[in-house]
Amino acid sequence: MALEFTDANFQKEVLESDKLTVIDFWAEWCGPCRAIGPVIEELAKDYEGKVKIGKVNVDNNPNVSVNYGITSIPAILFIKGGKIVDKQIGAVPKSVLDKKIQANM
């Protein structure tokens, strides 16, 4: 299951992680976010133990969202070693995210 990243745990769970971390910035009211939600859950199962995959609710966690300049959602950031290594804006097929994960593991 996808993890829940928050303003409170982002530093420890994401920035200090030695694994690639995939973060889906989303909101309840966002249709495309709800469409990509099941894809994020599938990827979390597929890469369990190898890649951290989670979600940030932008309405509940404004600090992280502002720090990363999130203005459009869904926005998916790929962070490794505390740095953004790739990103994807908008809902896309699972295969697109899968390729980005493979390329950055």
CATH number of the domain residue 91 falls in: 3.40.30.10
Please say if 24 is a catalytic residue: no
Please say if 30 is a catalytic residue: yes
Residue 77 identity (one-letter amino acid): L
Structurally, how many domains does the chain consist of?
1
Q: Is 53 helix (H, G, I), strand (E, B) or coil?
A: strand
60 lies in which domain range? 3-104
* CB proximity list for 55: less than 8 A, separation 6 or greater: 2, 3, 4, 5, 23, 24, 25, 26, 37, 40
- Choose the catalytic residue: 30, 39, 70, 91: 30
| 9-68 tens-digit pLDDT | 999 999 999 999 999 999 999 999 999 999 999 999 999 999 999 999 999 999 999 999
| 71-98 tens-digit pLDDT | 999 999 999 999 999 999 999 999 999 9
- Choose the catalytic residue: 20, 23, 33, 64: 33
pTM (2 d.p.): 0.96
